[in-house]
Structure formats: structure tokens, C-alpha cells
Structure 1
Amino acid sequence: MTAATDPHDLTEPGGLRPAAIDPALVRHTWRVAEPLHGMIYFVPEAHERYAALGVTGRAGYFASRAAALGPVGAEPVTAAFFNFNPRLVTAALPAAWAKASPSALLAARLDAADAALTRGLGDAVHGPEVAEAAALARRAAESAAAHPQGRPLFAAHAALPWPEPPHLILWQAQTVLREFRGDGHVAALLLAGLTGLEALVLHAASGEVPERFLRASRGWSEEQWAGTVEDLRHRGLIDGDSPVLSEAGRAQRAWIEAATDRLATPAYTILGAEGCTRLAELTRPLSRTIVAAGLLKVDSAVSYKS
């Protein structure tokens, strides 16, 4: 295959169009702010509010995140979430909708975000930095709404009404931006020819996230995981007994991340380099405070437990 026809080549004709803003800056901006959204999957405030509606355990995660799609069944959620064992999703949906409506779960999620951010940020939750960050993040999220094609989970969240308090605007904007990036990431994984489980195994082999968390939280058995490790070893993407990424595996992951970054750029182009830099400057101390307050303790996540 020549470089001009290689679908993994992001610079040649037929690849992705040139980015209007540095994709590395886009990734940095998203990553710095991500704890402000990601904490919702781990904080007790969320689990308690879902449980009050009768939706407990892993079902709370699936139902609350999928609620923007409406009372859908397991199949579209399995497709959109990508790397979860379908049996795990089927155990949660559509049964959760018999206990709580999507609108009730969305309200519970927003209320949990309010309580958790207030607890984690303290007086800073009402500070001018949060208000300025919220305005920038909302601008990016609303700009992304012009690019819904191929991004169903993002589009569903982008259609939700905006809350009024700045800290909740910031949380919702980062949620929308996360799903925008996530849908693009799924597209990159599919183009790379990976299944959800294969993507998880390669992620673990990179050393960035422990295998134990990825396997257990996504509902894959040791046997399924081990079989996929062998398949990827035969394909030359991983080496060793640990396992670790091979040179080819590292190259593939680098391409996937680069493609994900480029696919995320339409959301942030409106901010420009200056706006992205400012958003990162504003959210960095907020995210650090969230982490220091223990709002991202992985082992506290209900979805992690069997």
C-alpha cells in the first residue's frame, strides 16, 4: 500500500483534512479539564442518587450516561459505549427504565455533579475562574454541535438543556466535549480494525491503565482477556508475557491518538490557541483540587466492583 492510499496516513490525500488548530493543544485542553467531568463516575453522590431511584450498581452508570439517548435498549448502548461486554449492558438495560425514567436519571446525575463539585471545590466553586472556564467550555461545546454526524452519544448530550450555575455549565460542557472526543475515538478504533476488547487489551499493554481495572470495569472474563492477548500477539501488536506493546502496537496506538486528536479539533477551533490555553490555565487548578479531594478514587466506583 502506498503512502497516498494508506488510510492510516493523516497527511496524504484521502486522510484527515488539515486541522485548523494544533491537535496536541486540543488534547491538552481536554485532558486538563477532564477530571471535572470524570469524577461523576466515581463519587458517592452519584451512586446514592441513582440508588434512591432504584437503579443500583453498574446499572447506574449505564442508565445515567445513556439517559440522554432516551429509554433505549442494550444494543445501541453497547454500540455507543464500544468496549463493554454486551452481557454487562444487557443486565442493566432496558430494565433500569422500569425503575426510573431517563429524565429522572439525568436530573439525578446533574444533582450529583452539583453536590460533588461543591464538596470538592469548596468556596472556589463560586469563584470567577469557574465562571470564566464555564463560558469558554460552553462556547466550545456549542460549537461542536455543528458537527453531530457520526457522533450519536455526543449529539444526545449536546441536545440537553443547559443548567444555570456556572460550575454546572462547566461540568455539562466538559461532558459534551468528552462525548464528542469519545465518539471520534471510537471511529479511529474502528478504522484501525479493533474491537472494543482488543482496544482495552492494547490500552492495558501501554501501561497507562491497570489491566485489573479495565477488565473488571468492562465486564470481561480472564479467559476472554487472555484469548484476545494471544490474538494480538499473533498479529504482532504486543510482546512478552506481561504483555507490552510491540513497536507495531506503539505505532498503531500513536496513530489512533493522533486521529482522535484531529477529530476533536472542530469543537475547539472556535476558541483558538489563546482560548484553549486560557481554558487549560483555568481548569488545571480546579482539576487538581478535585483529584486531591479524592473525587476520582477508582476503587470507589461501583462499576469497578463485580
Structure 2
Amino acid sequence: MKGDTAAARRAWRRLEPLHGMIYFVPEAAERYAKLGLTGMSGYFASRGAAFGRASADLVIATFYNFCPDLVRSSLPAAWNVVTPEQMLEARLEAATEALRRAGIHDLPHLTETLDLACRAATAACDHPQGRPLFAAHAALAWPEDPLQQLWHAQTLLREFRGDGHVATLLAEGLGGLEALVLHAASGEVPTAFLKISRAWPEEAWTAAEAALQDRGLLDAGALSAEGQALRRHIEERTDTLAMAAYGALGDDGCERLAELARPFGRRVVDAGLLRLG
């Protein structure tokens, strides 16, 4: 679908903190712990619960860049402790509490922002093919509370874009670990964080670096010119694939959502909802 991909990317990026904070806020960890899950078990079970009793292999395939051993240390054992329905409820409650703590519900233009985000998310629901993680979340019932609806809409848009991103990585011959190494080499996210959170053994990381250097994508641990070009291509292709959702808003609608989303994303950041630890 044609459209202004740059405006659509801005709209997604500026509103994304409203979803992304769920992986960092204490409200989530506390609720998962009350159900008996701690650490990465809570993460894998809460995000994978949309699939039902998701197997480790399904999560490894769809989450894409986590060390398989890390996933298998949590699943399917988590389902002996909780049900998917309990995890979905806990996740939504945690998101609601954290966003209210940040004061998102008091910001101006909530209704218009919600309308635009829901329109894009609803349009995405017409294109579930090849997007398994999105499709699983799209099958969940929409919440009734407006703040929860906004979080759910952005969750759908995030997973829709994410599935398209994975498809692009596959098309470019990049596995999950190789994609991580390239991401680290870009300097956008600290390498130490990616290594710790994804738990790949150091020898596997080193081997991936060597393979990418052999492909001409890395030069002394940094992105080569070819690596930079590939990263740009991947992001641009991901933007294009996301237009099946954002194209429904038109260029003006994407620009408006990008404008409205800025204070929402900023409020999440300023409230410390994305802070590690």
C-alpha cells in the first residue's frame, strides 16, 4: 500500500513507549510474581499467552532473537504454574496501572489519539497472513476502558510491524542472533543489554560477528558501509510492510497521529516507565 512511510514510522515510534513500557515496569513483574512466575518466565509467558499454552519452539520462532535455551528454561514449564488467561489479565492490569501512574489518562486528545490508533490497528486485522504473533493478539477481545484500548491498539501495531520486520530479516538471510549483532553494531542499543537480555553464549555471539564480517557487513565490530545500507533497507522494507495498517489513515492521518503521539510517548519516558531496574 502506498503512503508516507516516514510519517507512519513517526506515528509508530512516538506511540510505541505506551506498549514497550510493559517489559520494564514493576507493576508487571509484581503481578507475574504473584502468579508464581519471575524473571524471563514472566516475559515469555505474558507475551506468548496470546497463543494459548505456547510451546518453547513457537516462542523461539516468533520472538526470533532469543537464545533457544533461555526460552526452554521458561516454557512450557510456566503453564504448570499459570494459565494463559491469567497471564493476559495480569499483563493488561499491569499496563493499565503503569499508564495511570504516568498520567496518560489525563492527557489532552486521548479520544482522537485512540481513534486514529484503533483505525490503524483495525486495518491491520484485515492482513493477518504471515504475521503469527500479531494474529494471536488480534484474536483477543478488545478491552472496554479507553486507556486499555489505546494500549491494546499499540500492542497490535507493534506486533504487526514486528512480524513484518522478522519477515524482512529472513528474506535478507539474517537469523535472530545475526540481527542482534547488527543492531548492537549500530550503536542504537547497548551491546551489553542485548547480550544479557537475549542470553546468547559469548562464543555464539563471536561466531556471528565473524560471519557478518565475512559477508562484508561489519568492519572491526562496527557497521561497514554495506552493513549500514542493509540496515537502512531493512527498516525501509519494514516501514513499507507496516503500511497495510497505517495506510488506512492516509498521509494526513499519519501526520496527525505522529503529532498527537509525541506527548503520550514523552509522558511514559518522563515517568520512568522505560527505565531498566
After TM superposition, the score normalised by the length of structure 2 is 0.98
- The aligned counterpart of 1:12 is none
- The aligned counterpart of 2:271 is 293
Does residue 80 in structure 1 map to residue 58 in structure 2?
Answer: no
- The aligned counterpart of 2:238 is 260
* Aligned partners of 1:40 and 1:113 also within 8 Å: yes
User: Within 2, Cα distance between the matches of 1:81 and 1:264?
Assistant: 18
Matches within 5 A, 1:139-288: 139-240=119-220, 243-288=221-266
User: Within 1, Cα distance between the matches of 2:15 and 2:167?
Assistant: 23
* Aligned partners of 2:8 and 2:255 also within 8 Å: no
Q: CA deviation at 1:128?
A: 4.6
User: Within 1, Cα distance between the matches of 2:228 and 2:10?
Assistant: 20
Structure 1 unpaired stretches of 5+: 1-18, 301-306
| Counterpart code for 2:244 | P
249-258 vs 179-188, which moves further? 249-258
User: Within 1, Cα distance between the matches of 2:126 and 2:50?
Assistant: 18
Q: Give 4+ residue runs of structure 1 displaced > 6 Å after superposition.
A: none
Q: Cα deviations across residues 266-290 of structure 1 (Å, max 9, x unaligned)? A: 0011111111111112111111111
C-alpha RMSD of matched pairs (Å): 1.0
User: Within 1, Cα distance between the matches of 2:37 and 2:201?
Assistant: 24
User: Within 2, Cα distance between the matches of 1:126 and 1:292?
Assistant: 15
User: Within 2, Cα distance between the matches of 1:103 and 1:126?
Assistant: 29
User: Within 1, Cα distance between the matches of 2:229 and 2:255?
Assistant: 28
| Counterpart code for 2:248 | I
User: Within 2, Cα distance between the matches of 1:166 and 1:277?
Assistant: 22
User: Within 2, Cα distance between the matches of 1:96 and 1:104?
Assistant: 12
After TM superposition, the score normalised by the length of structure 1 is 0.89
User: Within 1, Cα distance between the matches of 2:40 and 2:138?
Assistant: 24
* Aligned partners of 2:55 and 2:75 also within 8 Å: yes
User: Within 2, Cα distance between the matches of 1:45 and 1:125?
Assistant: 17
| Counterpart code for 1:202 | L
User: Within 2, Cα distance between the matches of 1:112 and 1:94?
Assistant: 23
User: Within 2, Cα distance between the matches of 1:229 and 1:82?
Assistant: 18
Structure 2 unpaired stretches of 5+: none
Q: Cα deviations across residues 67-89 of structure 1 (Å, max 9, x unaligned)? A: 00110210011000000000011
User: Within 2, Cα distance between the matches of 1:206 and 1:72?
Assistant: 32
- The aligned counterpart of 2:90 is 108
Q: Cα deviations across residues 252-273 of structure 1 (Å, max 9, x unaligned)? A: 1111111100000000111111
- The aligned counterpart of 1:11 is none
User: Within 2, Cα distance between the matches of 1:280 and 1:97?
Assistant: 39
1:209 alignment partner, SS class: coil
Q: Which fold has the larger relative contact order, with Cα–Cα distance below 8 Å and residues 6 or more apart in sequence?
A: 2
Aligned residues: 277
Q: CA deviation at 1:131?
A: 2.1
67-76 vs 21-30, which moves further? 21-30
User: Within 2, Cα distance between the matches of 1:271 and 1:236?
Assistant: 39
* Aligned partners of 2:50 and 2:84 also within 8 Å: yes
